[in-house]
Amino acid sequence: MTSQLPTDLQQLDAQDTLRHKRDEFSVPEDIVYLDGNSLGCLPKAVPARLAQVAQQEWGEHLIRSWTRNAEAAQDWMGLPDRVAAKLARLIGANANEVAVGDSTSVNTFKALAAAMSMAGERRVLLTDTENFPTDLYMAQGLNKLLGDTWELRSCLNTEIMEHLTPDVGALLFTEVDYRTGRKLDMKGLTARARELGILTVWDLAHSAGAFPVDLNGCGADFAVGCGYKYLNGGPGAPAFLFVAERHHDAAPVFLSGWMGHADPFEMARAYAPAAGARRYVVGTPQVLSLSALDEALNVFSDVDMHALRRKSLSLTDTFIRLMEPLTGQYPLTLVTPLNHEERGSQVSYRHPDAQQVMKKLIERGIVGDFRTPDILRFGFTPLYHRHADVERAVLGVRAVLEGQP
C-alpha cells in the first residue's frame, strides 16, 4: 500500500507543536508502538532518577532519606504529596484532593467504600455492564463484605442517563471504554447524578495524560486512575485517588493506614486522619516506583493539554481515514466513535480473528493489543507518536490482512 496522503502527513508532522516531546522518550524505531494505553514508553530521564534513588538516597543515605532535605522537597516522606501535586494539574483537581499510592484496584475499593457509606438509605450501585473487570470485581467483593446488602445494577454505557434513577446511591464508570475507546460525557452525567443525589466514582485509567480532565469542573465526587498508561510511570506504577475537598470530612477512610495518620511517627493507637486526601494513603510509599512516576510526570510540565488533545484527535482521525478502505475489503468494523466528543485516544476494530491478526501485527512490529472476544485495539500517545507512525501502522495492517509474508 502506498500512502494516500503523504504530503498531508508530512505537513501535519511539520506543524505538530508537540513533536519535540518524542525526544524525551525511549521510543524504539524498529516498531510502531501503539500500546501506550496499556504501558507507556520510558521517559529518558527516568533511569538516571532511579539510579540516583538507588545509589545515593538508598545506598548512601539509607533511612535518613525519609526526612533528609525536606526543605528542598527531596525527602521520601513528602514524595506522595509531590506526585499528587503534579497529577492534580492533569486531572483538574487541587493537590490536596489527590492521594497517590497503591493500585487502581485498591483505590477503587477505597472510593467505593466511602461513596457507598455516604449514600444513605439507597442501596443500588450502577456500573457499566462491560466495565473493566477489576472495577466490577472490587464492587462485588465490597458488597460481599457488606453482607450483599447492595444491588449491583449494570447497564450499557450508551444508556447511562436513563438508568440514573432515584434509588441509585452511587455510580462507577470508566470515562473511556477500554475496549472501544468510547469517551463518556463525564460532565453531563455527573451533573445529572448530582441533581438526583447520586455519588460518582470515575475511573480515569484511559483518560489521565491522554487529554484534559477537569474533575472539579465536572463536579465529580471520587475518581481513580493508574500511573503506567498515558502517564508513562512504568510497569506497576502507583495509582491515584481523587476525593473532592467538599467530602474530606464526610468520606470515611476505611483503609486507615499509618501513613494516612495526621502524625505517623507519633505512633498513636487511635487513627486521626491527615489533612486532605493524604489521609487515604495507606502504607509506606513505594519509593522506587513513586520516584519513576515523579520523574515521568515532569514531561507534562510544559505541555498544553488542549494541544495534546488536538494532536490525539488528528492522529486518530488520520488512522481511521487511512484504514477506511480496508474496512470495505476485509471483515473489519470500526467500533470507536467518529464524533470527537465521544472518542478517547485509541481506535478499535472488530475482526472475527482478531487475536491472530494482532499476533501477526506484533510479529511485523506493529504493537497494538487484543481484547476479548474480537477487538483490535490501537492506542495513540500524542507525546511521542507522529503521523508517519500512523501510516506505518496502516501499511502493516494491510500487509497482514493481505497475507503478505
> Could you report the per-residue pLDDT of 55-73, keeping only the tens digit for each?
999 999 999 999 988 777 7
CATH number of 77-300: 3.40.640.10
Give the span between the Cα atoms of 242 and 202, in whole angstroms: 9
Q: What is the mean pLDDT of the chain?
A: 95
pLDDT of 122 above 50: yes
Is residue 303 exposed (0-12), middle (13-18) or buried (19+ Cβ within 10 Å)?
middle
Please identify every residue annotated as catalytic.
132, 203, 228-229, 377
Q: What is the pLDDT of residues 219-252, one digit of tens each?
A: 999 999 999 999 999 999 999 999 999 999 999 9
Among 163, 172, 180, which Cα is nearest to 143's?
172
Annotated binding site for pyridoxal 5'-phosphate: 104-105, 132-135, 174, 203, 206, 228, 258, 284
* pLDDT confidence bin for 6, thresholds 50/70/90: low
* pLDDT confidence bin for 405, thresholds 50/70/90: confident
- pLDDT computed for residue 263 by the predictor: 93
Give the span between the Cα atoms of 131 and 173, in whole angstroms: 7
Q: What is the pLDDT of residues 177-196, one digit of tens each?
A: 999 999 999 999 999 999 99
11, 154, 308, 380 from 319: Cα distances, Å: 16, 32, 17, 10
- pLDDT computed for residue 177 by the predictor: 98
What's the grid cell of residue 183? 469517551
Class of domain 6-43+304-402: alpha beta
Q: What is the pLDDT of residues 365-382, one digit of tens each?
A: 999 999 999 999 999 999
Among 134, 65, 59, which Cα is nearest to 142's?
134
**How does DSSP classify residue 40?**
P
Mean pLDDT for 6-17 is 86
- pLDDT computed for residue 8 by the predictor: 83
Annotated binding site: 104-105, 132-135, 174, 203, 206, 228, 258, 284
Q: What is the pLDDT of residues 18-58, one digit of tens each?
A: 999 999 999 999 999 999 999 999 999 999 999 999 999 99
pLDDT of 118 above 50: yes
For the chain, which residues make up each domain, given as ranges? Answer: 6-43+304-402, 77-300
Mean pLDDT for 95-118 is 97
Give the span between the Cα atoms of 38 and 206, in whole angstroms: 9
pLDDT of 3 above 80: no
Q: Output the CA torsion sign for 333, 338, 342, 344.
A: positive
- pLDDT computed for residue 399 by the predictor: 97
**How does DSSP classify residue 347?**
E
Q: What is the pLDDT of residues 166-177, one digit of tens each?
A: 999 999 999 999
pLDDT of 1 above 90: no
Are the beta carbons of 202 and 220 closer than 8 angstroms?
yes
Strand partners, 151: 124
What percentage of residues in the chain have a pLDDT greater than 90? Answer: 94
Its pTM stands at 0.95
Q: Output the CA torsion sign for 348, 351, 355, 359.
A: negative
* pLDDT confidence bin for 2, thresholds 50/70/90: very low
What percentage of residues in the chain have a pLDDT greater than 70? Answer: 98
